[in-house]
Structure 1
Amino acid sequence: MAYYRSVGAVPPKRHIQHRDPEGRLYYEELMGEEGFSSDSALLYHRGVPSALVDSQVWELPDQSRTPNHPLKARHLKLHDLTTDPCPVEGRRLVLGNNDVRIGYVVTGPASMGPSPLYRNAIGDECVYVESGAGTVESVFGVVPYRAGDYVVIPRATTHRWVPSEASQLFAIEANSHIHPPKRYLSRFGQLLEHAPYSERDLHGPGEPLLADGVDVDVLVKHRTSAGIVGTRMTYATHPFDVVGWDGCLYPYTFNIDDYMPITGKIHQPPPVHQVFEGWNFVICNFLPRKVDYHELAIPVPYYHSNVDSDEVMFYVGGDYEARKGSGINLGSISLHPGGFAHGPQPAAIEASLGADYFDESAVMVDTFAPLDLGEGGLAVEDPAYAWTWAGRGPAVGDTGAGGPAVHSTD
C-alpha cells in the first residue's frame, strides 16, 4: 500500500546511525517486497532482529484439501463449525488452492489472552472480522479491529491477535501480496477519485509497541518442497522492540461500512464491488445499496457461467435477495465453481422486480484456479444446495465430495 507513514523515532536519513539516549545503536531492518523493488518499511530495533536461539517444528492444523469432484455448487455453514478459540492455531481450512486459502475461527473472549506471536511467511493475510473486537499487535504497533473490518497484514509481519471479546474471523491467506485494485490507483499509488474508498479509510498503527522479553517464541507458517509447514522460532529478544519505523508497508484496517457501492441504471457486474486483489484472486464486498433504476430493470444478477473462476460468497449481513429459497443464511458460504452457469434462485427473479434497495452484506472471493474443500468446509456442508435451482434431488443420489484428500503443493 503506497501510503507513507512515519511512527516513533526514526533518523533524518536512511541507513545512518540511530542511537538511544545512552548511545547504544539501534538495529535497522528493511522489510521489503519483491526484493528491493517494491513497497518497504524501515524498522529500528533495540535488539538484533535475527538473533535466533532455537527452531523446532510447529505442527499446523489440518491443511489437506479434497477436490470438488464430482463438480457441483456447495453450501457451507460456517456458524456450525467448531473451532479452537486461538485466533492463529484455531483456524480451520474451509477452501483453498495453491494461490489462496480461506479459513475460519471463532476466538475466545478477552480472558483467553492474546494469541501466540505469529507470522505468515507465505503471503499477505486479509482477515474479515465478522463479529467481535480487539487489537492486532505487531512489530509496527497496535491496530484496533471491530466488526466489519478487513485486517490486512503484510507477509512476514510478526503479530498477535488480542481479542477484547469473542471474534468470528474469516481469514484469507494469500501466496502473494494483497492490495487495492490497480484500476483505482494512480501510477504513483494514490487512490483515485472514482475509487470506492480513499486513504482516509485506511487505519494503520499510530505509535510503537515496545515489549521486553528473552527467548520469545514466534510461530512461522512457510513453504518447503513438501508444501505448507510450520516452524516455532525462538528469539533472544522480543520482536516488539521497535522504537520507530517509516515506509509504505504496514498492517492496516479498512471497514466495510466505509466502502461506497457503485450502482447503475441496470445491473452492475461483480468487478464494481471489488475491494482488494491478490495473485490469481480478487476480494469483493456486496453491501446495502440503491439498486438498478431502469424501468424494466431486474435487480438480482443474471445467470452467468464462471468460465475462468470459482466464486465464493460469504454472507455476513442483511437478507441476500438472489439466494432466497436455497437455505442460505448468515454465516453461509456458497461456492459456485467454474464449469457451469449459476445465478439467482428462480423465485427470486420475479420477487426482486420493483425493488429500489437491497439490504445485504457479503464478502466474495473469486479465484482463477479451482478451489478444493478443506476439512473445515467438508465438516459443515449442506448436501442439498446443488439441487435447489431444479427444486429436487439428484437422479442417482448425492455422491459427496468425491476423490481422496490431497495436500497443498504450494
Structure 2
Amino acid sequence: MAHYQHRGAVPPKRHTQHRDPEGNLYYEELMGEEGFSSDSSLLYHRNIPSAIADARVWDLGDFATTPNHPLVPRHLTLHDLFTDEAAEGGLQAGVDVVTGRRLVLGNADVRLCYVVADTPSPYYRNGIGDECVYLERGGARVETVFGSFVVGEGDYMIIPRATTHRWVPLVEGDPGYVEPLRAYCIEANSHLGPPKRYLSRFGQLLEHAPYCERDLRLPEGPLLAEHVGADADQPTDVYIKHRGTGEHASGGMVGTIHTYPFHPFDVVGWDGCLYPYVLNIADFEPITGRVHQPPPVHQVWEGTNFVVCNFVPRKVDYHPLSIPVPYYHSNVDSDEIMFYVAGDYEARKGSGIGLGSISVHPGGHAHGPQPGATEASIGVEYFDETAVMVDTFRPLELGEAGAAVDDGEYARSWVRGLAGGRPRQDPPGQDEVFSTS
C-alpha cells in the first residue's frame, strides 16, 4: 500500500552512489510489484543480493488436494492437528512455522494452512505470492530484511512476495509467553492488501474503511544488519517456495534452498511503499446496521479471486423486528471458509463447531444458522465472537490436513436439529455419503 516509509541509511537520490564508512559501495535492490508499475521499495545491501553459493531441492511435503466430492459442507477440527499424547503439553515438538505448516484447503489462487510451532523457522521467502499469517494464539518475533516485529494473539501479518524472513516463536520461559504459537497461514498466488474500495486513488485508507494507517504496525528498527555480528560472513540457507512442476512438485509448487555466502539480513537501509506490516483484529472497527449486514462489511483484505473477512465482537441489529443471525444464503460464486478463533458463535450452536474449528460452506449449497439459532437470536443485542473468513471465487479442495480432521458429521447438523419442536432423526442409509474418499 502507498504509505511511504524510510529506515536506516539511504542516499539522498535513488540509483546513486551509497558508500559505507570505508568507501565501499552498498548494493541497491529494487523490490517491486507488477513489473515496475506498482508499489516498490529500494533496499541497500552490504553484499550482492544475487550471489548464491549453492542450490538444492527443498521437499515441501504433501500439498496435493482432493475435490470436495460429493459436494457437502464440512467441519474441520484444526486443534486435532499437531497433537502428540506422549509429548509434554500434548503437542508435537520441533515444528516451525515455515516447514511445519500443513495444507487444510487450497485451489489455484490460495492455500489455507495451519501450524502449531515451538521452533525457530529457517530463513524463508515465498516466491509465489503474498502471505497473510493470522496468529490464533501464542506469540513470536518475526525477523525480516525490513526490520523485525513482535506479534501475538489476533495479529494479521502481511508479508509481501519474496520478503526474506524467519519466525521465532515464544516458548515456555520466554518473557510474554502464554501458550504455544498457533498460526493460520493464508498463502496467496497473488498480491494481497486492503480492499480497493477502502483506498483513495493515491492509496490512502478512506474515512469509511474499518481501519486506518494508525492501526498498522510497521517494521521496528534498528535493522538486523547491525546485530548479525560474527554471523555476517557465515554461509546461510534461505528456503524458497516457487512455482514449478515435475518430480518434486506438490500442488503446483516446488521448493529450493539457496545457500548464500553471507547472512541474508545485510540491509543497512531501505525506503518505499512495499514492506511487511501487522494489523490486530481488535483494531478492526465493525460496521453494523438496523438489520443484518452482508459479509462485505466484514472484509479486511483482498487477493486475486479471494477475500478475507473477520467477524469481531460487536453490537448487532437494532431494528425492533430484526433477526441478528445471518439469513440462509447461497454463495453461488464462492466457497465460504470460516475459522472460529474466540467467543461464542451464535449461528453455529448445536453443530459441534467450537474454537479451532473451520466450517466449509461450498458454492452450490444453501447454508445458514443451525436449527433453533434464528429463534434464539431474536432480542440479542451483542455478539461476542471472533472469526476469520476466507471466500474464494473458485472451488477449494481438501488438503491432507483438512481431510485428516473432517468430522464427517457436520452436513447432517441441520437435519439433526429441532423442527416444529421435535427432534429430527438422521435419514436412513446415509453413513457413507459424506466420506471424502
TM range (shorter): over 0.9
CA shift, 1:402, in A, is: 4.2
CA shift, 1:394, in A, is: 5.1
Percent identity reads 68
The count of aligned residue pairs is 399
Which residue is equivalent to 1:125?
131
Q: How does 1:135-284 map to 2 (within 5 A)?
A: 135-165=141-171, 166-207=180-221, 208-210=223-225, 211=228, 212-226=232-246, 227-284=252-309
Structure 1, unaligned stretches of length 5 or more?
404-410
* Equivalent residue letter for 1:5: Q
**1 CA distance for matches of 2:9 and 2:279?**
26
Which residue is equivalent to 1:18?
18
Q: Determine helix, strand or coil for the equivalent of 1:203.
A: coil
Kindly provide the CA deviation profile for residues 111-167 of structure 1, in whole angstroms up to 9, marking residues without a partner as x: x3x210011000000000001112110111101111000011000101000112320
Structure 2, unaligned stretches of length 5 or more?
83-91, 172-179, 247-251, 417-424
Could you tell me whether the CA contact under 8 Å between 2:73 and 2:365 is conserved in 1? no
* Equivalent residue letter for 1:386: A
**2 CA distance for matches of 1:348 and 1:128?**
28
* Equivalent residue letter for 1:6: H
Which residue is equivalent to 1:375?
400
Question: Which range is displaced more, 291-300 or 229-238?
Answer: 229-238
**1 CA distance for matches of 2:286 and 2:432?**
39
Which residue is equivalent to 2:432?
398
Which residue is equivalent to 2:110?
100
TM-score normalised to the size of structure 1?
0.96
Question: Which range is displaced more, 316-325 or 210-219?
Answer: 210-219
**2 CA distance for matches of 1:181 and 1:305?**
23
* Equivalent residue letter for 1:273: H
* Equivalent residue letter for 2:214: R
Could you tell me whether the CA contact under 8 Å between 1:222 and 1:230 is conserved in 2? yes
C-alpha spacing 1:372/1:26, structure 2 compared with 1 (3 Å) = same
CA shift, 1:251, in A, is: 0.7
Which residue is equivalent to 1:331?
356
TM-score normalised to the size of structure 2?
0.90
Could you tell me whether the CA contact under 8 Å between 1:45 and 1:241 is conserved in 2? yes
* Equivalent residue letter for 1:168: R
**2 CA distance for matches of 1:342 and 1:119?**
38
**1 CA distance for matches of 2:400 and 2:334?**
22
C-alpha spacing 1:160/1:394, structure 2 compared with 1 (3 Å) = farther
Aligned-pair Cα RMSD in Å? 1.1
**2 CA distance for matches of 1:314 and 1:27?**
43
Could you tell me whether the CA contact under 8 Å between 1:68 and 1:401 is conserved in 2? no
Match of 2:339 among 306, 314, 321: 314
* Equivalent residue letter for 2:239: L
Which residue is equivalent to 1:91?
101
**1 CA distance for matches of 2:318 and 2:25?**
64
C-alpha spacing 1:394/1:159, structure 2 compared with 1 (3 Å) = farther
Could you tell me whether the CA contact under 8 Å between 1:61 and 1:91 is conserved in 2? no
Kindly provide the CA deviation profile for residues 91-130 of structure 1, in whole angstroms up to 9, marking residues without a partner as x: 010000000000000011xxx3x21001100000000000
**2 CA distance for matches of 1:176 and 1:261?**
27
Kindly provide the CA deviation profile for residues 47-88 of structure 1, in whole angstroms up to 9, marking residues without a partner as x: 110101111000002101000000000000000111662111
Match of 2:313 among 264, 288, 293: 288
Could you tell me whether the CA contact under 8 Å between 1:384 and 1:393 is conserved in 2? no
**2 CA distance for matches of 1:41 and 1:393?**
58
Which residue is equivalent to 2:85?
none
Q: Determine helix, strand or coil for the equivalent of 1:197.
A: coil
**1 CA distance for matches of 2:336 and 2:258?**
36
* Equivalent residue letter for 1:132: G
C-alpha spacing 1:336/1:297, structure 2 compared with 1 (3 Å) = same
Could you tell me whether the CA contact under 8 Å between 1:322 and 1:348 is conserved in 2? yes
**2 CA distance for matches of 1:86 and 1:61?**
14
Q: Determine helix, strand or coil for the equivalent of 1:234.
A: strand
CA shift, 1:214, in A, is: 2.5
CA shift, 1:400, in A, is: 4.1
**1 CA distance for matches of 2:233 and 2:137?**
32
